[in-house]
Amino acid sequence: MINNEEVKLHMPLKKNIFLTGAPSSGKTSVIKKVISKLTLPAAGFYTEEERQGDRRVGFMMKTLDGKEGHLAHQDILSDFKIRRYGVSIHNIDSIAVPSIVPVENIVIILDEIGKMECFSDMFKEAALNALDSPNIIIGTITMGGHNFIQSVKNRDDIEITEVTLQNRDSLPELILSKLHVLTE
C-alpha cells in the first residue's frame, strides 16, 4: 500500500516547498535537519527561540552564512509588537532580506513567512521575489495570517505540508527526496 507521502512524491512537484503547523510543532527543527543534509548550495535564514531558563524571551534570525540578530525580543522597544515581543524591522531588513535574494542555482531557506516578518514591506517584497524566481524555496509559513500570508498560501507554485507529531521525523527525508527530483 502506498502512503500519502509516497503519493505526494510522485505527483507533479512544486518548487516552493513550505511547512506550516502550530507553534512548537517542529517546523524549524525540520528545516534545520534539511539544512544539515543539503548537498546543494543554499542561502537564507531560519529562526530560533531565545530562552532564559525555561522562559522564552525572544526570537533570533540566523542566516546560513553566519549572520544573526533578534527578530523580536521582550526588551526591544518597537512600534511593531506581537504579544510582549517588540519586532526589529531593522534586523529583518538587514539580515533576513539580503539572505533570500535569489542567486542562480541555490536553494533558498525561508523560515518563516509569519506575522513578525510581514511587518516589513522589504521582507514581503523579497519573499515574493524569491518565490517568483526559478530557485527552489524551502520554508515555513504561519498557520493563520491575513492578506499577504493568505496570498502566498494561495499561489499555484507552492506546496504546504502541516508538521505534526506523526510526520515531523519523516519530513526532512521527504523534502530532500523532492529536492533530488526537482534538481535532476
Counting every residue written for the chain, the total comes to 184
Amino acid at position 80, single letter: F
**Assigned domain for 127 exists:** yes
In the three-class reduction of DSSP (H, G, I as helix; E, B as strand; rest coil), residue 97 is classed as: helix
Domain tally, the chain: 1
- Per-residue pLDDT of 38-65, as tens digits, reads 999 999 999 999 999 999 999 999 999 9
Q: What is d(CA 59, CA 67) in angstroms, rounded to the nearest whole number? A: 14
The pLDDT, as a whole number, for residue 145 is 86
Report residues of the chain scoring pLDDT below 70: 1-12
Cell of 135: 530557485
Looking at the whole model, is its pTM more than 0.85? yes
The pLDDT, as a whole number, for residue 48 is 93
The pLDDT, as a whole number, for residue 98 is 98
**Assigned domain for 8 exists:** no
**Assigned domain for 167 exists:** yes
**Assigned domain for 173 exists:** yes
> What are residue 24's phi and psi, to 5 degrees?
65, 20
Cell of 182: 526537482
CATH of the domain at 98: 3.40.50.300
The pLDDT, as a whole number, for residue 2 is 37
Which of 136, 106, 139 shows the shortest CA–CA distance to 123? 139
Cell of 68: 544573526
Q: What is d(CA 145, CA 139) in angstroms, rounded to the nearest whole number? A: 16
| CB contact burial 60-99 (16+ within 10 A = b; e otherwise) | bbbbbeeeebbbbbeebeeebeeeebbbbbebbeebbbeb
Q: How far is CA 13 from the centre of its chain?
A: 18
Amino acid at position 102, single letter: P
**Assigned domain for 5 exists:** no
**Assigned domain for 1 exists:** no
Range of the domain at 84: 15-182
The pLDDT, as a whole number, for residue 12 is 64
